[in-house]
Structure 1
Amino acid sequence: MIKIYILIYEDVVLSAAAAPVDILTGTNDILVTAGKSPVFKVELVSEKSRNVLLNAPAQFDCQRTFADLPPKSSGHETALILVPAMSGEWETILDKNRAAVDWIRQHYLVGTEIASMCTGSYFLAEAGILTGKTCTSHWQAVDDMRLRYPDIDIQGDFVVTDHGGTYTGGGAFSSLNLLLYLVEKFCGHEIGIEISKKFSIHRDHISQAHFSVFRGLNQHKDSVVLKAQSYIESNYHDDISVEQVAAKVNMSKRNLIRRFKQATQCTPLEYVQKVKIEAAKKRLEQTQDSIQSLMYDVGYNDIKTFRDIFKRVTGVTPQMYRNKYSRSLKLR
Structure 2
Amino acid sequence: MAKTNPGRFFEDYRIGEVITHAVPRTVSGGERAMYHALYPARHALYSSDEFARDCGLDASPIDDLAAFHLVFGKSVPDISLNAVANLGYAEGRWLKPVWPGDTLRSESKVIGLKQNSNGKSGVVYVKTTGYNQHDEPVLEYIRWVMVRKKDLSADAPDTLVPELKQVVPVEDLVIPEGLDFSRYEFKLAGERHRFGDYEIGEKIDHVDGVTVEEAEHMIATRLWQNTAKVHFDATNREDGKRLIYGGHVISMARSLSFNGLANAQMIVGLNAGAHANPCFAGDTVRAWSEVLDKAETPSPGVGAVRLRLVATKGGIQDFALKGEDGKYLPHVMLDLDYWALMPM
Which TM-score bucket, shorter chain as reference?
A: under 0.3
Where is the strand percentage greater, Structure 1 or Structure 2?
2
Q: TM-score, normalised by structure 2?
A: 0.24
Q: TM-score, normalised by structure 1?
A: 0.25
> Could you say which structure has the greater relative contact order, defined with CA pairs below 8 angstroms and 6 or more residues apart?
2
Larger gyration radius, structure 1 or structure 2:
1
Where is the helix percentage greater, Structure 1 or Structure 2?
1
